[in-house]
Every structure is written in C-alpha cells, then in structure tokens.
Amino acid sequence: MSYTDVFSSFFSPSSIAFIGASKNLHKWGFNILHHIVKGGYSGALYPVNPNGGTWYGIPVYPSLRDIPGAVDLAIIVVPAEMTPDAMRECAAKKIPAVVIITAGFSEAGAPGKELEKQVVQIAREAKIRIVGPNTMGIFSGYPSRINAIMGATPLKPGRVGVISQSGNLGTSIAHRLNRREIGLSRLISSGNEADLTVEEYLEYLEHDEQTSLICLYIEGVRNGRSFFSIAKRISRTKPILLLKGGTSASGAHAAMSHTGAIAGDAAIFGAMCAQTGIIQVDSIDEMVDIAGILLSQPEMKGNKIGIITQGGGWGVLATDLCARYGFELEPLTSSLVEKLDAILPPFWSRRNPIDLVAPGRVTVITDTIRLLVEHSNVDAVLLLGLGYMTIRARRWMQSTVINIDDVREHAEHMISEEMKLMKLIVDQVRGLSTPVIPVIDQVAFDEIMDNNPVKFLDSSGIMAYSSPEYAIRALSRAAWYYERQRARQ
Amino acid sequence: MSYTDVFSSFFSPSSIAFIGASKNLHKWGFNILHHIVKGGYSGALYPVNPNGGTWYGIPVYPSLRDIPGAVDLAIIVVPAEMTPDAMRECAAKKIPAVVIITAGFSEAGAPGKELEKQVVQIAREAKIRIVGPNTMGIFSGYPSRINAIMGATPLKPGRVGVISQSGNLGTSIAHRLNRREIGLSRLISSGNEADLTVEEYLEYLEHDEQTSLICLYIEGVRNGRSFFSIAKRISRTKPILLLKGGTSASGAHAAMSHTGAIAGDAAIFGAMCAQTGIIQVDSIDEMVDIAGILLSQPEMKGNKIGIITQGGGWGVLATDLCARYGFELEPLTSSLVEKLDAILPPFWSRRNPIDLVAPGRVTVITDTIRLLVEHSNVDAVLLLGLGYMTIRARRWMQSTVINIDDVREHAEHMISEEMKLMKLIVDQVRGLSTPVIPVIDQVAFDEIMDNNPVKFLDSSGIMAYSSPEYAIRALSRAAWYYERQRARQ
C-alpha cells in the first residue's frame, strides 16, 4: 500500500471499526466512541464488543469477523494484554491502519516493551501501520470529521495540522487554536511511536492539501538528521511551529520517563531548528499567537513598526517591547504629520507611537492606518487600545441608575460603530500588503456578549491579541520566518 | 491638614461634589458620575452644572456655592480653561481634596503648562491637594465604594492598592485583578502629578490598613532617591509589584510624550528595584500572576519543587521551566516512593514529577500532596493537569447521541468529585506552610458553567494558572521576594 493510501486510511477512512466499545463512562472505550459519533463521522462505524448488542442505536459487532464490509481503520482501546489478539484479527480482516489508544506498552516497563514488540511484529507481517500505542487518538477535519480523540473539547476543521508526543498537550494546543476560531486539518497524538513516527507524520502533512501550517510538540526524535531534513523541506512552503519538551537536563529525564524519548542536547536542537526554518516556541500559548499572525496577516517584509494607540501607556509599553524584540519604530515624516494633522484631534502625539487621543469617528482610525502605510516605510502596524466601545455601551444598557430609554439609541450607535471599525480593520488587512495587528484589551475578551469585537475578528480570521507583548512577540517570530524565506530564495 | 486627613478626604469622603455633571453620554462628566452612582457611593453626592435640574433623580447644583453642607472631595471634569475658576470655587468652599480628571494641561504643550501652573498656584494658596490633572480618576474600596473612574469595568473591593501613571493601564490592571476575584483597596490614576506624586501615594498606601499589596505602573519619578527609599521601607511589610514603561530609549521618548516623565536609565532603575525589594515585572499579566501567589499562598522558603501531574507532557514542560527559573526538582526518597506506591496506580512515574497516570479517587491527589510535603524537602508543590472532570461530565450531559438519563448520575458524581477536590486543595493550602499552586487547563477557564473549578478556586482566594509557565514564573518572583525578606531579618 502506498504512503498516501495508508494515511488516507487513517484520515479519510470509509469505515471504522472501534474495538473495545463500551457503555461504561469511566472507559476510554465509551468516551472516544462517543466523540466519534458526536463529532459527526459520516462513514460506516462498527463498534466491536464480544457482548454485541447496540451502542445507543448503533449495532455492536461481537468481533471483527462479524463486520460485513471492508474496514479501512481500526481503533483499539482494549487492555494491553488483549491487543495482540485484536491486531491478529485486524490482520485477518486486512485492515491497513490501526490506532492503538491503549497504554501499558513500552512506557510501562519490561513486560509492556515485550507486548509492544509483539504488536509491531504482527503489524509488520500484515503490512498494518500503527498510530500509537499509548495515544489520545487522532482527529481529521476533512473530508469526514473523525473526532477519535480523548480530549473533551469539540474540534473545528481548519488548516492547522498538529502532531504531539503528549496527548494532553496535543488536545490543549487544539483547544487553544479552536477558542481563537483556528481550526485543525489533522491532530495526531503520536504516543509511543512503535511504528509510525513523527517524521512520517510530518511527511504526510507536507503533502496534505488540507494543512497549511504545522504545530509540533516534541520530546525527542528517533532520527534527528531525517527529522531536520524533512522539516527543512516542509518549512519552505508550510510554517512549522515547534515546542520542545525536555530542553533542560531534568526535563529530558522527565521526558525519558514520559515517552521514553532521548531528548538530546537542547542547544543543538535549537540551533538546528533555527537552521532549518522551524519556529521554536516557549509555550503553547505563544504557538497559537504566532499561528494567528501567519494564518491571517500578510508577510512582514522588514523590521519597521508603526504604532497607533488609544492610550499613551499602551504606546509606551509597546515601544519598549519593539526595542526588546529588535523592531524599529519608524519616524513620521513631516509630510505625513501634516496629513495626519488634518484628520486627528489637536493633541495627537505627532510622533510614532501615534496616540490618537480621542479620535471621534472610527474611520479616523482606519484612515490613520491607511496614511501610515501609504506614506511611511512601516512593515507592520500595531493597533492598540481597541474594544472599549461595546463594553461601555453595555454598561449603560445594564445600568439601574439611568433611564435606559435615554441611552438606548446612543448605546446601539456605539456598538454599531465598533462593529463598523472591526469590519474596516478586516477589510484593511485583506486589502493591504502590510500586517495590521489589532490589540484589544482583556475586558473585551472576558465579556460574553453579542457583537464582541474579539469574536468578530477571530471569526473573520484576523486574530486579536489581549496585550501588546503577545502581539509583538508573535510578530517577531513571524518576521523571522519570513526573513528566512526571503533569504532562501 | 495632616497627611492622613488629606488622603481620607480622597478615599473616604463624607461628601463629593462632581463639577461638570452631564447627561451627554459622550462626556466624561456623564460616565464618571454614572460610575460613582452605580458603584454605590453611600455619602452625599452633589453633581454641579450651571444648568441645575436633576441627574436621574439626583439634584444638580448650579454651583459649588449652592451646596448646603461641607464638601470633602471635588471631582472636576470641566474643560481645562474653566478649571482655574472651578478651583477658585473649591478654595472658597474650603474643599481640601480635588481630583482633576480634565486633560489639556502640561501634557498638551505650552498653554496647557501655563494653565496647570495656575491651577497648582490656586491649590497651594488654599491648601488644596490635587490628584491629576489628566487622570482617569480614583477608586476606593473602603469604607464607602467610590468608583470615580473612567474605566468601564465595575471594580471589587479588596486588598490591592494600584497606582498608575497611565489611566488605561491602571484600569486594565484593575480589570485583570478583578477577573481573578482579586479586589482593590484603592486605584489611583496619577495623571500629570501636578501636585500629589507617586511617592506620596506610595506613602499613603504604606499606612493604609486596607492595602496589603501594591501594584505600580510607572513611566518616571520626580525624585528617584525618595521614591526608592520609600519603596524600600514599604516592601518590608507590603510587596510592591512594578511595571516600568520607557525602559528602552524609544520607549522613554514615548513616555516623555505621554506623561512628560523623564524615564531615566532602565538598567539603573532595574538595579534599584532589585536592591530595594521591588518586584519588577514585564507585563500586567505577570503582575497579576505574582499578586495571586503573594496574596493566596504561604511563603516559599527555598527553591525545591515537587511536581504532581496528570499528564506526562505537562510534567516535562514544568520541569524545563523549573530549570529555567532556577528551581530544583527535589528527588523522592525511597521511603516516600514506598508510601506513594501504596496509594498510586502501578504505572506512576516513581520520580519527581509525580505522574499520577489515572489516580481514581480524587483524595489520592491530596494524599499525594500531603505525603510529598511531609516526607520530602519540597518548598512548593505544582499541581498540574486539573480541571477536566466537570468539562467531560458536561459533554455527556450536552450530548445528543447518548441517553442522558443513563449518564446523569455519573456526570453529577464527576462534577461533585471535582468540586470536592477543589475544596480539598483550598483546605490544604490554608492548612499547610508550603505553597501548592494549582494549574488548570485553559479549557476550564473558557467554559461558562456552574461549578467551574477555576472560579471556585479564584473565589476561595487560591489563584489557579492556565499553564505551568505562568505559575512557575510567578512563583520564582514570589520566591525572590521572600528570600529577600528573610535576608533582611
């Protein structure tokens, strides 16, 4: 079976056998099956359990042999000691792809190691490929939703492929992407990598048309040379964001106990990432922040920043952060100052950061962006201090002090003005070749409301940041990536 | 008037005159007055506007002269050019304390500077003390709630005093504290500091019994020597968390344009902070993270960490972070391993990090904490990978696939078990002399639900962290502070 065919058995199977189906809520055999069904898998699904019967209306087969048609993918959740037998049945049924969720293999001492060897042996002989064992499962966004994963978050389909050597971190990365409306093409919790390895998953995502950005959590790789050579090739076309676990001596020791990975020298690994164009990150939050810029913003072509702010303090902090991350604040030419004088209130700062003071109509903000981009050499614009208008309007509407009828019209106007501004920003980002990064204060992130500017931007595919440090840190890594891409050409 | 009396006029006035009351929602004269009334100020409130009438049922006085009784505090929002006259009326009315919200003074060029001089002159002659001008206002939590602030977030009373040279950052700090259920004693947006300065506010908070921790956003201080000598004295009894704006050359320039502050040399400022025991932070999120530990956890007395995790990946990342922040992972003695063997599942990690695998009953977790604290030398415990039980139970209850009646009992049990665990953790933190820092995955932070473990911990005064990096970074700064305190004694 060809390489592509194997992975299509995993990620677009026509039929799935779920070996170890259960109605016991304590069991993974309940939860993962539940997630697959709830997730809306549209192919044929065959739960398997010796007791037969039905699983909430779905017929349960006593064994694989009893399943009438062909099976593309088997998911195994039975105990470790029963897994070799299940694998033999998969071989007999000629199933090409198996996800072994079950733990208790090489990560669990000598008897588990022996069991894993046995399972791999059966697979090799029958030409079965394995994800796992000891994995939280897989997710596929296209063509059919396969939510065969233990994580409790419902996942959205999208353009990010995630490979993780920790199930928890994989699902946490997925959740953090999803909460910002960034969907996933694939999620692979690679587990013990007894057969398929992170290198092979990478090569699959390289050719996967649904994937345009790759997120990795790695504790160690079997073959560093091959890993970096694949990553180097991929990163020309698809950015790779990587979080490395086990960068400290004690962390490497912990990783050994977790996945058995040999973590290797962190400094060498870091240098190799930089050389091969991998964007190495310090946390999964940073990973999502960078993904937001790479997925939604045009290329940043240099290191000159323009800051537009409502609020002097935000401008000062952002300026410090730009210096820390190697960006330069582009001075405003006198002709640009003149142009801005014509639209801004009298006390505006007349320098970069452009402190708008109280700009009046919201179009002043996007006009300022336009003038800045057209009449200066800025390579990116930071837009700070947004997101208070709807909140303020809601405070009026929720007031028990004032007469709501007196304020309703004005409140609705404020809300529609802020929404108008957000739409203008989205249009501007889509129309410009310069990134414009919106920073919206935490208060708007926290408020559950209609017309939330953060939700609007997120669902329009333009990620907003809750504080300038996250925006600037992420922008600096995106800028590094683009600079490398240009140098390669 | 004594020092204490002046500040009690600002923060516990029996009566407030609000000069510039308005029904125009565009105006600060509407919004701040609205916030004061909505905030529940219980003293006498006198809105002032030449047109008289009423403001949503409250009589409006045409001028200060028309107010019958004495006035402790005046809040001025009239335009800059009308402020000297308003100040003269305050002098005639013998008002000891004035907050000048109005902008357009020294921050706005030569004519504004002249106006500010004039205002200060009037104040000096009449022995009036001024907060501002160009401030977002003040908040007081006790004894009466005074929410005389432009920020849209309703503020909660508590133990943190905030002084900010940026109104936006002051209100953003306040919001970030409040969302984690940390309340404020006072919030002072210091504005141009034409009269009262950050040094004087600090001295006030030093003696303010309502304040037990101080958060500062500073762009520059008039008298560095005096500032650091006050801060050194205060930090013996109340931790000071400080974010410095203008640490870069360009940021200092921006600060000059924002508040006119001479930012000074960042390296010297940083060294002075370290010497005087000020905890300097890089962001307002970090400030809140550290406040959470200082307010809710016992003193960390050394640098040895114990990690308890549900999820190997979290343990690996936390171990790396401990190394980065100078913590040591305390090895487990064989006698402790033996004790843990008796309560943990067979495949637990048998080393620090203690990977619980699947611990079964929740008391196993707190028993593990207890054994670790009692039978090792750990100075703090990190508790990772919490917060999935309620989420999972909710997924069952929200399912359209399964029979809800079949799962209800079990789901309710899961939710009550997680709540039981949270209560046990709160009791344990209160009963132990070792910090135990809970880290709960982002998914629980995002889920709006009853029995949210994050909300429960927050409202019990034990702050939870959404990722180990925030917990460990904050713990490292708290540990530094405590180490300094011990060295001083």
Helical residues (DSSP H) of B346-403, grouped into ranges: 363-374, 389-397
Query: Which residues have a Cβ under 8 Å from the Cβ of B263 and sit 6 or more positions away?
Result: B219, B220, B244, B245, B246, B247, B251, B252, B255, B256
* pLDDT given for residue A144 in this prediction: 86
Is pLDDT at A259 greater than 70 in this prediction? Answer: no
H/E stretch holding B268 reads helix B266-276
Task: Quote the CA–CA distance of B481 and B475 in Å, as a whole number.
Answer: 10
> How many other CB atoms sit within 10 Å of the CB of residue B1?
12
- Residue closest to B317 by CA, chosen among A247, A222, A107: A247
CATH code, A155 = 3.40.50.261
- Residue closest to A254 by CA, chosen among B349, B373, B337: B349
* pLDDT given for residue B255 in this prediction: 80
Is pLDDT at A1 greater than 90 in this prediction? Answer: no
Is pLDDT at B35 greater than 90 in this prediction? Answer: yes
Is pLDDT at A307 greater than 90 in this prediction? Answer: yes
Task: Quote the CA–CA distance of A20 and B20 in Å, as a whole number.
Answer: 73
Query: Which residues have a Cβ under 8 Å from the Cβ of A17 and sit 6 or more positions away?
Result: A46, A48, A61, A64, A67, A71, A73, A74, A75, A90, A93, A95
A329 → closest Cβ in B250, B310, B392: B250
B449 and B303 inside one domain: yes
Task: Quote the CA–CA distance of A126 and B462 in Å, as a whole number.
Answer: 54
B2 and B104 inside one domain: yes
- Residue closest to A202 by CA, chosen among A192, A193, A220, A215: A215
Closest-CA distance of chain A to residue B220, Å:
12
Is pLDDT at A5 greater than 80 in this prediction? Answer: no
A443 → closest Cβ in B153, B283, B353: B153
Is A38 within 8 Å of B400 when comparing Cβ atoms? Answer: yes
B104 and B55 inside one domain: yes
Cis peptide before B353 (omega within 30 of 0): yes
**How many CA atoms does the CB half-sphere of A197 hold within 13 Å?**
11
pLDDT, average across residues A243-270: 81
What is the band of B263 on the pLDDT scale with cuts at 50, 70, 90?
A: low
The two three-digit tokens of residue A100, written as one number: 């072994």
User: What are the tens digits of pLDDT across the range B133-182?
Assistant: 999 999 999 998 999 999 878 899 999 999 999 999 999 999 999 999 99
Task: Quote the CA–CA distance of A210 and A394 in Å, as a whole number.
Answer: 40
Q: Which of B254, B271, B296 is the last residue of a domain?
A: B296
* pLDDT given for residue B149 in this prediction: 96
Q: Which of A296, A314, A343 is the last residue of a domain?
A: A296
Average pLDDT of the residues of chain B: 94
B236 and B351 inside one domain: no
B331 and B278 inside one domain: no
Is A23 within 8 Å of B406 when comparing Cβ atoms? Answer: yes
- Asked, for residue B388, whether it belongs to a domain, the answer is yes
Is A441 within 8 Å of B172 when comparing Cβ atoms? Answer: yes
- Asked, for residue A140, whether it belongs to a domain, the answer is no
- Asked, for residue B145, whether it belongs to a domain, the answer is no
CA of B384: which chain A residue's CA is closest? A168
- Asked, for residue B267, whether it belongs to a domain, the answer is yes
Chain A residues closer than 8 Å to B103 by CB: 347, 357
CA dihedral A427, A431, A435, A439 (to 10 degrees): -10
Angle between helices B389-397 and B404-431 (to 10 degrees): 160
A290 and A307 inside one domain: no
User: What are the tens digits of pLDDT across the range A195-218?
Assistant: 999 999 999 999 999 999 999 999
- Asked, for residue B286, whether it belongs to a domain, the answer is yes
Is pLDDT at A2 greater than 80 in this prediction? Answer: no
CA of B385: which chain A residue's CA is closest? A168
A281 and A366 inside one domain: no
Is B168 within 8 Å of A401 when comparing Cβ atoms? Answer: no
A229 and A335 inside one domain: no
Is B172 within 8 Å of A442 when comparing Cβ atoms? Answer: yes
Task: Quote the CA–CA distance of A236 and A171 in Å, as a whole number.
Answer: 27
Which residue in this structure is represented by tokens 């969302």? B179
Is pLDDT at A267 greater than 90 in this prediction? Answer: no
Chain B residues closer than 8 Å to A253 by CB: 319, 351
CA of B166: which chain A residue's CA is closest? A313
Is B448 within 8 Å of A448 when comparing Cβ atoms? Answer: yes
- Asked, for residue B146, whether it belongs to a domain, the answer is no
Chain A residues closer than 8 Å to B164 by CB: 313
Helical residues (DSSP H) of B127-265, grouped into ranges: 167-179, 198-207, 224-234, 249-259
Q: Which of A277, A296, A315 is the last residue of a domain?
A: A296
- Range(s) of the domain holding residue B109: 1-134
Chain A residues closer than 8 Å to B282 by CB: 469
User: What are the tens digits of pLDDT across the range B386-417?
Assistant: 888 999 999 999 999 998 898 999 999 999 99
A333 and A249 inside one domain: no
Percent pLDDT > 90 in chain A is: 84
The two three-digit tokens of residue B451, written as one number: 């029995």
Q: How many domains does chain A have?
A: 3
User: What are the tens digits of pLDDT across the range B2-15?
Assistant: 667 789 999 999 99
Is A166 within 8 Å of B312 when comparing Cβ atoms? Answer: yes
* pLDDT given for residue B361 in this prediction: 84
User: What are the tens digits of pLDDT across the range B369-392?
Assistant: 999 999 999 999 999 988 889 999
Is pLDDT at A263 greater than 70 in this prediction? Answer: no
Instruction: Show the 3-state SS of chain A.
Output: CCHHHHHHHHHCCCEEEEECCCCCCCCHHHHHHHHHHHHCCCCEEEEECCCCCEECCEECECCHHHCCCCCCEEEECCCHHHHHHHHHHHHHCCCCEEEECCCCCHHHCHHHHHHHHHHHHHHHHHCCEEECCCCCEEEECCCCCEEEECCCCCCCEEEEEEEECCHHHHHHHHHHHHHCCCCEEEEEECCCCCCCCHHHHHHHHHHCCCCCEEEEEECCCCCHHHHHHHHHHHCCCCCEEEEECCCCHHHHHHHHHHHCCCCCCHHHHHHHHHHHCCEEECCHHHHHHHHHHHHHCCCCCCCEEEEEECCHHHHHHHHHHHHHCCCEECCCCHHHHHHHHCCCCCCCCCCCCEECCCCCCCHHHHHHHHHHHHCCCCCEEEEEEECCHHHHHHHHHCCCCCCHHHHHHHHHHHHHHHHHHHHHHHHHHHHCCCCEEEEECHHHHHCCCCCCHHHHHHHCCCCCECCHHHHHHHHHHHHHHHHHHHHHC
Task: Quote the CA–CA distance of A158 and B237 in Å, as a whole number.
Answer: 52
* pLDDT given for residue B5 in this prediction: 77
pLDDT, average across residues A397-420: 92
Counting one residue from chain A and one from chain B, the pairs whose CB atoms sit within 8 A come to 236
Phi–psi pair at B312, nearest 5 degrees? -65, -40
Q: Give CA angle at B456 (B455, B460), nearest 5°.
A: 115
Strands (E), B254-372: 279-281, 304-309, 328-329, 354-355
- Residue closest to B438 by CA, chosen among B412, B407, B470: B470
What is the band of B126 on the pLDDT scale with cuts at 50, 70, 90?
A: very high
Chain A residues closer than 8 Å to B172 by CB: 441-443
Closest-CA distance of chain B to residue A354, Å:
10
What is the band of B18 on the pLDDT scale with cuts at 50, 70, 90?
A: very high
B122 and B227 inside one domain: no
User: What are the tens digits of pLDDT across the range A330-380?
Assistant: 999 999 999 999 999 888 889 999 998 776 788 999 999 999 999 999 999
What is the band of B107 on the pLDDT scale with cuts at 50, 70, 90?
A: confident
A262 and A251 inside one domain: yes
pLDDT, average across residues A105-125: 94
> How many other CB atoms sit within 10 Å of the CB of residue A233?
15
- Asked, for residue A20, whether it belongs to a domain, the answer is yes
B335 and B478 inside one domain: yes
Task: Quote the CA–CA distance of A153 and A175 in Å, as a whole number.
Answer: 6
- Asked, for residue B382, whether it belongs to a domain, the answer is yes
User: What are the tens digits of pLDDT across the range B281-333?
Assistant: 999 999 999 999 999 999 999 999 999 999 889 999 999 999 999 999 999 99
pLDDT, average across residues B475-485: 97
* pLDDT given for residue A347 in this prediction: 80
CATH code, B29 = 3.40.50.720
